[in-house]
Amino acid sequence: MALTAGMKAPDFTTTDQDGKEVKLSDFKGKKVVLYFYPKDMTPGCTTEACNLRDNYKLLQKQGYEVLGVSTDDEKMHRKFIEKEKLPFRLLADTNKSLHEKYGTWVEKSMYGRKYMGTARITFIIDENGILAEVIEKVDTANHTQQILGEAKSPLAKAKPAKKAPKKVSKKPVKKVSKKRK
């Protein structure tokens, strides 16, 4: 059965990039962004992690703790954190028990070949351990806006930079005649 908003978030115990035990129940009274991603240091996963990194203070200001989850081990998570300077914890789920509880270990298909892998899904968990939202279509480059909600997000209010008008050259254009053969 797929998890949906309003359901109790499944508790878990696993380890982070430093081998420290992490339980969802440790975050009671806090909002949690629990995001599942396929693999450390791949293009889409890096884009998603960096978007969360770049907006981490804003997420914290809104009361969120961020936890990333993949099947990579602690050592790989540590490298990813160091390389991208990620300020949040990454959880190692090498035995896929967390993936199973959250329904993120799924059959995928690429080039007609079927295989099992991680579904990129984010679970927003409220202070009482209830799923407030499940984001199944993650926009890796704009994930923070999805988490905060487009309308509520301070990022949504930021106006895009105006493009400088193109300068038009005043030099005369040479006409080139084409000779027919």
User: Between these two residues, 146 and 2, which has the higher pLDDT value?
Assistant: 146
pLDDT at 177 over 80: no
Q: Which residues contact residue 21 at a Cβ distance below 8 angstroms, ignoring those fewer than 6 apart?
A: 13, 14, 15
Catalytic amino acids? 45
pLDDT digits (tens, 9 = 90+) for 121-131: 999 999 999 99
Q: What is the DSSP string of 142-173?
A: GHHHHHH-TTT-HHHHSPPPPPPPPPPP-SPP
Q: Is residue 21 classed exposed, middle or buried when 0-12, 13-18 and 19+ CB atoms within 10 A define those classes? A: exposed
Q: What is the pLDDT confidence band of residue 149, given thresholds at 50, 70 and 90?
A: confident
pLDDT at 43 over 60: yes
pTM of the model: 0.81
User: Which residue intervals of 19-167 are DSSP H helices?
Assistant: 43-54, 56-61, 74-84, 97-102, 143-148, 154-157
User: Between these two residues, 165 and 143, which has the higher pLDDT value?
Assistant: 143
Name the token pair of 27: 């975050």
CA distance 30 to 62: 10
- What is the average per-residue pLDDT within 90-108? 96
Which pairing describes strands 13-16 and 105-110: parallel, antiparallel, or unpaired?
unpaired
Tokens 């899904």 — which residue?
Answer: 121
pLDDT at 163 over 90: no
pLDDT at 90: 98
pLDDT digits (tens, 9 = 90+) for 47-86: 999 999 999 999 999 999 999 999 999 999 999 999 999 9
